[in-house]
Structure 1
Amino acid sequence: IVRLYQLIEDIIVGESNEESLVNQISRLFKEQNKTLATAESCTGGKIANLITEIPGASAFFRGSTVTYATESKVDILGIDPLLIEKHSVVSHEVAQAMAVAAKNKFKSDYAVATTGNAGPSKGDSDASVGTVFIGIATENESFAFKFMMGNHRERVIQKTVNKSFELLQKEILKKASN
């Protein structure tokens, strides 16, 4: 185990203390007086659920949309149907647009969005099962990342939730170091 830690020490989160990643993020948002919103598709509200389990989350968490169906991304978040048609509902462009839309809708400083194919079938996208995009919107920029999370539905969802928290932590820590 010691050799494993030496190889991956820069990506281990929460091992040195007992504070969970979601607790760390909550603390950072509160300390920096910043707000957060989410727009979830493939994670089905699990990110928002974990955040709202934290006492005092209302100090920073503005709200969430679970836009699971393609139509809800259009109707609720205002994602351009032509963007979805051109790039697919499971795409970098849609994840980024979802994050920006959530940030704007909830008037938050940060937002995270998830869209992907957790399986077992492909749904409204031709993306392979396990393909996930996570969008992040900060005060100054927005971007998205693509991940291949495997083909076991529950693991794809949990990995996406965890990776979303890791990406949020990275962004809020960037702000803290500036």
Structure 2
Amino acid sequence: MDRTGGGPMSIRKLATHAAAAGALALAAVQFASPATAQNVTIVVPFSAGGGTDITTRSMQEEMAKSLGSNVVVKNTSGAGGTIGVVIPPSVPMILYAVIAQESVAKLFISGILPGLAMGGGLVAIALYQGYARSYPKGAPLSLRTIGRSFVSAFWGLMTPVLILGGIFSGLFT
């Protein structure tokens, strides 16, 4: 590959330029909006393009209609991003266990309670903000809708059970 700048652009450089262009476009939309004070900002604490980002962006338009204001989705790996490291199974926890020669199973068990506490705190903050700002409630969910969602997500929900079950049974080391 030509490093003088005359050759084809690398994928990493192309992705960087695309992300910068997207950020500039988002900033232009943000500052052009007359109702900047009424924007709802959703901070996704994970990298752009991940499952959480895609899910949040798919809800963005419906939320904007429901709330009657602009909805802005921002990706940051700030304090909220640490919850992904704590809740098992997490790759950083496995890497730490390998480097420190600790038990992966014990680390996973020790990460459950702090992860649940952090998640509970985030839910409490979200509920408080929703009530304090008087956000409208969505349509109530029926048991049928919840059941269908559970069935369609069954294998994804079983992944931690399979991983932890494999570790505790001795199938995975």
Q: TM-score, normalised by structure 1?
A: 0.25
Higher relative contact order (CA 8 A, sep 6+): 1
Greater Rg over alpha carbons, structure: 2
Higher relative helix content: 2
Higher relative strand content: 1
Q: TM-score, normalised by structure 2?
A: 0.26
